[in-house]
Structure 1
Amino acid sequence: MNDKMNLRTSRSFLFASASIALVFSSPALAGEDVVYADAPDWIEPAELAWVDVEKGPSTLIYDWQHRLEGGVVTSYTDTAFRIDNPDMLMQQGTISLAWMPDKGDLTVHRVEILRGDESIDLIGTGSQFEVIRREQGLEQRLLDGELTATLAVPGLKVGDILRVTHSVTTDDQALGEEMQASQWLYADPWKVGFSRARVSWPEGADVYWRAEDVAGVEAPELENGYRTIDVTLPIAKLPDMPGDAPSRFTRGAMLRVGTFADWQDLSRVFAPHYVEAARIADDGDVAAEARRIMGATSDPLTRAAMAVRTVQDDVSYLLNGLDGGNYMPQTAAETWEKRYGDCKAKSVLLFSLLSQMGIEAVPVLVSTSGGDAIPELLPIPGNFDHMIVRATIDGTDYWLDGTSAATRLSNIGNVPAFFHALPLTEQGADLVTMDQREPATPDMIMALSTDYSAGIDLPSLFEMSMTFSGPQGARLRAMADEQDEDTLRQIATGFANSAGAGAAVSDVTVTYDEEAAVGVMKLVGVMPSAFAWSDGRLRMESGDDQNFVFNPDRARPEWRDIPVQTPGPSRNRVEAVVILPGDASAFTQTGPAIFDESFANTRIAGRTDTSGNRIVSSVDVIQTLGEIAPAEISANKRAVRQINAMEVELIAPEDVTWRWQRDPSEIARRVKPLIEAYDAAVEFSAEDDYSVHAQRANFRTQIYDWEGALEDLDLLVEKDTSANVLTWRASVLGALGRDAEAIADARRAYELDPNSSNAFFLAELLAYDGKRDEALELLEQVPVSEEESGNYASTYATVAGLAGKTDAALELLGDEVADKPLNASVLNADCWFRGLFNIGVDSAMATCTKAIERATDSAPMLDSRAMVSYRMGDYDAALKDLDSALELVPGLSASLYLRGIVRLEQGDAGGREDIATALRMEPYLARRYAMHGVAPKD
């Protein structure tokens, strides 16, 4: 976690919602008591007469004025708020003013309530601020030394105007006679009656200023012997920028003023404090630590890695901003003795250790955000919020962060995403670019092994590990130490939910290797098959979710010259092992076995190897921090499209054996490890987590273990019931021929959730159980939307047909077809009804064929037309359609059952195998089809 150095030396604010100037300077008298005095003579007062007090924005005045003179910065703020409502009364009812007592004074000039023509001077009538030290950042180990003066405004009412004027002086110990001031320039649409930012300094002083071009700030004018910049706020609305633009294009406008002539000047001013703080006694503890490291190894880079580890692990983080500490560092000896320090203290200690070991090193200032903009800014310390150390070893720069974590020899060469650094040298130094290089080792490795030994159409056993190195790995240290079972179960549940129906985790372990600084999270269990039926083959595809994205928008003319910021640095690796039920060489692999492609500062490198029944692949994705020039955007867009266009598939052989084609005893043998994994997942899950029971039930239905599925569903109905669970159990009970119980569950599901789908399901169960009048009555009461009318017509026709009301069924279907003549589902409903009830089959063929032609998934339509052909005695046509349906959806049990009947009609004894297989998949088929006179030939 990056430490942010507290580089502001004064912060004045009235209310939590108001952002104000950051102001800096050099040593002066300071106080912990609030001073009450008139405003400085140089202030240009703002007047309420300049604004619409009654109808304008509630923020009437926000006036900032700064003066840089004699090494002291004075920051003056004048605010006036109209209290429009009780919420504002609550927000503004307490005034809070903050300052750094070791650097300057807080002076209150005015606290006034304006009520109509009345003016109430609260300070004049005895109100006083209370001073408190409120270290709000202690949870983040921040002790900034700031004091806060608070005043609960007595007598403030809705409708009043509250006017507060104060100033803060800043004389920073670290800057000597140098000064700095920064003021945000708020832009439209900020609403305010009157606002401005003024900065002034003596005419002869060497003071420099800079603001973003979009702010339109004019050059200073000479007023009474002072150079003065006066900016009316808000400035014009800042131009819209693409979100992927570098930060120098998207940053807000700020006026920066300071006395540093250049970056070298700033470097020279800061350096002596850090050089001096790094000095240590030869017989001191820091020197002894350096000697210990040197005794352990003679390699300079290994020594540097050990030194960084010492500073990161043995010195805790605490920002101590007291006694000038915002810029002034603790000494190395003090930091080592106290074993705490902020980024400055840790950097000084690291600088000292490296210097003792003869390694060239220097502390450097960096910005943890917006670092690409640093070269464009005025040289002032306020541009930086962090400090690290640059070590140069064998001509290579290493950027070492004592406040980070888990730096080791494997990752010491990684370059943080700070863009630029300012070395602090007594001779003075310019900004240096932190040139990026690819991380040598992955930050994260996700390794997934899936075992399809049971069959590629069944779930796989899996082992997945997530290995995190460096700072990412350090985050697992506490989890590894605690081994909290609830947390581990939450991880398991989260993964199972993301992996899809049928996934279950049987164990989660978290370990951390202190020496390697590597954290590993490992999950084992069972997950759904990644093979899917497509274009006549089972295929494992890479998936659209793994596509890479680079699609910056530069369509606007004003954006065409803006580069694209690319993320980084990072290196992530994905490793996959697929264990197949047979020789992997029988499977077809598409895509290159070895590839190394790039786009937009991203490199993808990988390879795939086959050995025995295993396919092993590894892909590294390396992202480098940087930019893509506008002229290169199109080429990189094409590059990423070419990468995404690579079809990476693992295709099963054509003669694959499906689970329903296997003998039940063989299936039982094959799935035993899977069942054991589900059982282990049930044991691992929390006592009140029934999701794993649902996953096990789902798997058992896949292998047609209806009794086993029922065990889990009984528990779910008892402990975690819902309409969905009840309809699920009803379908399993129906498969087992327990119709009365199935109807009871379906009826209860409909009571819990009386939607159309549950009504249709219940109605068909009732109708096939002989309760046709009740089924028709139920359907007549169901409100049906336009989108549901097709399903309603199909269900109603089936129920009415079973009740002997085929004319009514045909009439309803005819109306639906007339209303939706191009709807494949509606056309299929008419075709299916005629075939199933053997009525009007002579005129059904045209409708059936049209349904097939209009369908995107024509397997159900082919099955319906096959039933019509069967009724017409055209067994060849029926068989052709059934074969086609099963080519599209091999597990279509109804088609398999009817094909068995047709084959027997043609004298093909192999039809009995089709029938037996279909009934393993859907045991109720025989009973239902028999009710329509469709049964195997004896």
Structure 2
Amino acid sequence: MAGSGEPLMPQPPPTGRSADAALDFGPDRARPQAGLDAANQGTSRNPSTRDGHQGTRFVIEAGSARGVRALARRCLHRATQVLGGITLACIAQAGTAATPPEYRIGPAPEWVTRVERGTPNDSLREQVSGGVYYLLSDSQEMADPHDRLRFHRIASQAITTEGVQSIANISIAFDPSYQTLQLHWIDVIRDQQVIPKLGGATIRLLQRETELERRIYDGSTTAAILLDDVRVGDIVDYAYSVRGLNPVFSGKPFGRLGLRFDVPVARVHVGIAVPENAAVELQPHETSLEASTRAQRGLRFHSWQQDDVPALITEADEPGWYDPRPAIQWSAFHDWNAVARWAWPLYRVPDSPSTTLQAEADRIRQAEPGEEGRLLSALRFVQRDIRYLGMAMGAGSHAPAAPDTVLERRFGDCKDKTLLLLTLLDRLGIEARAAFVNTELRRGAADRQPSPGVFDHVLVRARIGDAQYWLDPTRQPQMADLAHLTQADFGVALIVDPQTRTLTPMSRDDQPVPLREVRLSYDAKSGFEQPVALTVTTTASGERADILRQSIASSNGEALQKSYLNFYAGTYPDIRVSAPMQVQDDEPTNRITVTEHYSIANLAVWSEEDHRFNATFSAPDTLEVLRVPASAARTAPIALAHPTDLTVVTEVKLPEEWPIKAERVVVEDPAFVFERTISSGPKRFSITDRYRSLGDAVAAEDAVRYANAIAKARDNTFYQLHWTDPGRAAAGGLADRINWLVLMVGVMALGLWIWLAVRAWHGDPPPIGLPASPSAPSGLRGWLALATLGVTVTPFVMMFGLYNISSALTPVTWAALTTYGTDTYHPLWAPALLFEVIGILGLMVFWGLVCVLFYQRRTSAPYWYIRMLIASVFYTAIDSGLMVLLPAVTLETKDIAGLVRQALTAAIWIAYFMKSERVRATFVKRLGPAPAQPELGPVAGSA
């Protein structure tokens, strides 16, 4: 950052975001941060964003609340990045060759409090990273409105060879345009012996320009200090001061001193010296540490110290506005009005612009008759014709260049572009003001102490009538009309106007929610054994359309197509592109449609475990927004991409009719709503998933609830068709084709039935009813012949019935019906099928017994015939009742009629056997001799 005067890694910077840091952070809107260097950056979260490449399609990572904007700006500037970097490098070399920056060596300022190093704590050594244990981080600042001075001291010990590499190389950055660097001491402490190193150290001043990738030239210089003879166990203790106040702040300093870092520190000390006549306010952030105060030599000293400070462990997916880092804020700006009044002269429109600028305003006025058209034309001109390039040296960190200069050179950063657009709108008679925002803190800016350092970006707030528009001139040219224009929304903004008293919310109730719809159409009409055509149609509107449009514009078409192919290859390895990608862009309504064409071979995969084909249909776009949080046990909130409204429709054309069950699943959580509906038609079915975000973050105490809701939603994002192949199933071994559970149950049941049948055969009851008359007909003739035929055939009918249900008893089908979680599972399938097996075996055995008794003309034949008629009716009724309880089985009218017919037939034959003379005359044989006295009436036979 420009003129920070802070050390680079591995030394812990004591001041945080510098008061002189440039307002514009460049196209990515966020700085990279790591280790202790990130500890005091104010907002340390920098979650990555995705731009549609490498397996992610048009989706911003849920953990990055600012990802949408970061992507938009990265895509906007990528095309000219290399050329801009080369140009700036040349400018840097030309500007510094004549007057190289210098440094001085001298004692520490008299007002600085000397602090002893901390004592190593064994419990903190476990948190050490990089082989460096920091013993002291000391930061003391002179908040003098006329001459700001910052003193920094670092003491660190190398506990590994890697640590030696770190502490033996010191880097200090400063802005030579208004700052001077003074080195006080560099000592190596070895075995309690102090070895001075400053005199013999190798010191080089480098103009590194670390922001060139973002096309920002800040003029900062790095003092790179190389120490010799540093060993494991050595302590490097060094101190320096940076003097100077950026003139752009008009003598009003501000700053932020960090109290905790990403690594453990044995002692942390911060102090602020304020002249008695200076109006500087102190404000602690996330700390209750009490200050020690004293007055001396016309200064008020405030200091804070704590020992054994553990590492601050940040968590993934934290929102940008969440800042748990304890710090001391201080500022000479007492409120937001003071900040607005300071910035007003910087963004005040010039009274007399150049003739070139006036000519551009006149051209727009003549081309567009209405205010809305003029507003859009001016915005597009600045977005399109003024390329992004930042010259953030000294006062240029926050002060924009003159509009005439920006128009002439045709480049500028957010400050320059904003003032140019303000000037054009003023000449067109449209009210507009500059607006400061923080693209990382977003709404969290309201929780910071007022100062210019709170903000990292500036844009335009324009008014037409009662409507207000938040316009970002650094975006890619926006061709939508005002009703569909994507407007900036960073939570809150500071309007640069002398009347401003507070921050202004940027959210608008009438702002359309950015929509995205993905339609996946699978054409399997020719069968799953053939390649299946997949057409993916993505339609985006609003800000989602901007992201998709910028991704396409800034990427190589072939590479982009390949990245989309790889996105689906994770699900379908045998996918290939069948036709070029097509793009239809409706810019006025800010709606864009991308159509992709693929062919999937082997969409259906044979499962050796399940002995079936599985065709899986997943929704990777849905899974992208249903991201599982990195950790549910956490202390930080979870950031969500909001607002998000995603609809994914999966349509599948089938080769034949398929039993598709209509379903609707809704998962509701305070953070989101997910809904899935499944419907079917002739040889087709469709699945519609919709995800809507309801907020931009989930509180830490709600993380477990949110994670469970996400898991539940993800469980419903897959759909599978499956079917068996008798030929492939038969190819398995015999053991694989046997349902051992059913076989064992059937064998045991069959053995039981046979044992009972044998006992029944030994039963020897008397003839049924009264003895037949001597003249009564006998023999298996007449109506009895029909009964005989029936009992002869029935055992074989039972065997055929067992064969009919055998297909449901195969291992594959049995598993599909009885395994929890499959599409066809129901808890009654197993008992229903086992009941049929046991029942059919019982009927088969006992009807066989009746058949034997019939041909032996045993007296027990009528008894068992009647019993089996009744048992058959009861079996059919119970079996039908079980089937009714199964959703996949429908009991038709003919089934009920068949049961009634069976019961009536049984009643008729029972009556015949009870009354027939032929029956009594035919079934007269017994196993033993008849008793001396004949029975007078029917006696129930033994079981």
What's 2:493 paired with?
421
What's 2:279 paired with?
206
* Alpha-carbon displacement from aligned partner over 1:656-696 (angstroms, at most 9, x marks no partner): xx999xxxxxxxxxxxxxxxxxxxxxxxxxxxxxxxxxxxx
Residue 447 (structure 2) aligned to one of 376, 383, 388: 376
CA shift, 1:605, in A, is 9.4
Q: What secondary structure sits across from 2:341 in the alignment? A: helix
Q: What secondary structure sits across from 1:488 in the alignment? A: helix
Residue 344 (structure 2) aligned to one of 271, 274, 278: 271
Long gaps (5+) in structure 2? 23-98, 126-132, 753-794, 818-823, 825-943
Q: Which has the higher contact order (CA 8 A, sep 6+)?
A: 2
- Matching residue's letter, 2:206: I
- Matching residue's letter, 2:579: D
Q: What secondary structure sits across from 2:249 in the alignment? A: coil
CA shift, 1:224, in A, is 4.4
Q: What secondary structure sits across from 2:287 in the alignment? A: helix
Report if aligned partners of 2:265, 2:308 keep a CA contact under 8 Å in 1: no
Change (3 A) 1:479 1:383: closer
Residue 569 (structure 1) aligned to one of 613, 635, 643: 643
Residue 396 (structure 2) aligned to one of 315, 325, 329: 325
What's 2:208 paired with?
134
Pair 1:451 & 2:523 matched: yes
Change (3 A) 1:257 1:598: same
CA shift, 1:106, in A, is 0.9
Q: 1:426-437 maps to which residues of 2 (within 5 A)?
A: 426-437=498-509
CA shift, 1:143, in A, is 1.3
What's 2:19 paired with?
24
Residue 176 (structure 2) aligned to one of 87, 101, 112: 101
Q: What secondary structure sits across from 1:260 in the alignment? A: coil
Tell me, in whole angstroms, the C-alpha distance in 2 between the residues paired with 1:875 and 1:237: 78
Report if aligned partners of 1:452, 1:578 keep a CA contact under 8 Å in 2: yes
Q: 1:803-818 maps to which residues of 2 (within 5 A)?
A: none
CA shift, 1:201, in A, is 0.2
Long gaps (5+) in structure 1? 1-5, 652-657, 661-701, 705-730, 736-760, 765-792, 799-823, 833-840, 848-869, 893-938
What's 1:472 paired with?
547
- Matching residue's letter, 1:317: Y
CA shift, 1:877, in A, is 1.3
Q: TM-score, normalised by structure 1?
A: 0.61
Tell me, in whole angstroms, the C-alpha distance in 1 between the residues paired with 2:122 and 2:573: 62
What's 1:34 paired with?
103
Tell me, in whole angstroms, the C-alpha distance in 2 between the residues paired with 1:877 and 1:612: 33
Q: 1:146-545 maps to which residues of 2 (within 5 A)?
A: 146-186=220-260, 190-218=263-291, 220-233=293-306, 250-275=323-348, 278-279=349-350, 281-409=352-480, 413-437=485-509, 439-440=511-512, 442-454=514-526, 460-468=532-540, 469-478=544-553, 482-484=556-558, 488-489=561-562, 491-495=564-568, 497-500=569-572, 503-509=575-581, 511=583, 513=585, 515=587, 521-527=594-600
Pair 1:69 & 2:144 matched: yes
- Matching residue's letter, 2:108: A
Q: What secondary structure sits across from 1:349 in the alignment? A: helix
Report if aligned partners of 2:158, 2:235 keep a CA contact under 8 Å in 1: yes
CA shift, 1:396, in A, is 2.6
Report if aligned partners of 1:590, 1:647 keep a CA contact under 8 Å in 2: no
Tell me, in whole angstroms, the C-alpha distance in 1 between the residues paired with 2:616 and 2:20: 65
Tell me, in whole angstroms, the C-alpha distance in 1 between the residues paired with 2:418 and 2:352: 18
- Matching residue's letter, 1:328: A
Change (3 A) 1:15 1:617: closer
CA shift, 1:128, in A, is 5.9
Q: What secondary structure sits across from 1:214 in the alignment? A: coil
* Alpha-carbon displacement from aligned partner over 1:512-554 (angstroms, at most 9, x marks no partner): 74956766543213447799999xxx99999899599699999
Q: How many residues are paired up?
A: 681
Residue 874 (structure 1) aligned to one of 799, 805, 823: 799
Tell me, in whole angstroms, the C-alpha distance in 1 between the residues paired with 2:627 and 2:201: 60
Change (3 A) 1:200 1:413: farther
* Alpha-carbon displacement from aligned partner over 1:264-315 (angstroms, at most 9, x marks no partner): 001110121121xx43755533333333333333343343333333333322
Tell me, in whole angstroms, the C-alpha distance in 2 between the residues paired with 1:645 and 1:118: 64
Residue 89 (structure 1) aligned to one of 143, 148, 164: 164
Tell me, in whole angstroms, the C-alpha distance in 2 between the residues paired with 1:546 and 1:622: 11
Change (3 A) 1:579 1:260: same
Report if aligned partners of 1:67, 1:200 keep a CA contact under 8 Å in 2: yes
Report if aligned partners of 1:415, 1:436 keep a CA contact under 8 Å in 2: no
- Matching residue's letter, 1:24: A
Tell me, in whole angstroms, the C-alpha distance in 2 between the residues paired with 1:78 and 1:208: 24
Q: What secondary structure sits across from 1:267 in the alignment? A: helix
Matched-pair identity in %: 20
* Alpha-carbon displacement from aligned partner over 1:635-675 (angstroms, at most 9, x marks no partner): 99999999999999999xxxxxx999xxxxxxxxxxxxxxx
- Matching residue's letter, 1:63: D
Tell me, in whole angstroms, the C-alpha distance in 2 between the residues paired with 1:86 and 1:539: 55
Q: What secondary structure sits across from 2:141 in the alignment? A: strand
* Alpha-carbon displacement from aligned partner over 1:808-861 (angstroms, at most 9, x marks no partner): xxxxxxxxxxxxxxxx97657x869xxxxxxxx9679689xxxxxxxxxxxxxx
Change (3 A) 1:355 1:61: same
Tell me, in whole angstroms, the C-alpha distance in 1 between the residues paired with 2:20 and 2:443: 25
Tell me, in whole angstroms, the C-alpha distance in 1 between the residues paired with 2:122 and 2:648: 64
CA shift, 1:494, in A, is 3.8
Report if aligned partners of 2:664, 2:676 keep a CA contact under 8 Å in 1: no
Change (3 A) 1:794 1:439: farther
Tell me, in whole angstroms, the C-alpha distance in 1 between the residues paired with 2:389 and 2:517: 32
Report if aligned partners of 2:272, 2:301 keep a CA contact under 8 Å in 1: yes
Greater helix fraction, Structure 1 or Structure 2:
1
More displaced, 174-183 or 427-436? 427-436
Q: What secondary structure sits across from 1:129 in the alignment? A: strand
- Matching residue's letter, 1:383: V
Q: TM-score, normalised by structure 2?
A: 0.60
- Matching residue's letter, 2:275: P
Pair 1:11 & 2:5 matched: yes
- Matching residue's letter, 1:432: T
What's 2:153 paired with?
78
Q: What secondary structure sits across from 1:874 in the alignment? A: helix
Tell me, in whole angstroms, the C-alpha distance in 2 between the residues paired with 1:185 and 1:61: 11
- Matching residue's letter, 1:314: D
Change (3 A) 1:56 1:375: closer
Tell me, in whole angstroms, the C-alpha distance in 2 between the residues paired with 1:603 and 1:55: 45
Report if aligned partners of 1:477, 1:512 keep a CA contact under 8 Å in 2: no
Tell me, in whole angstroms, the C-alpha distance in 2 between the residues paired with 1:434 and 1:487: 34
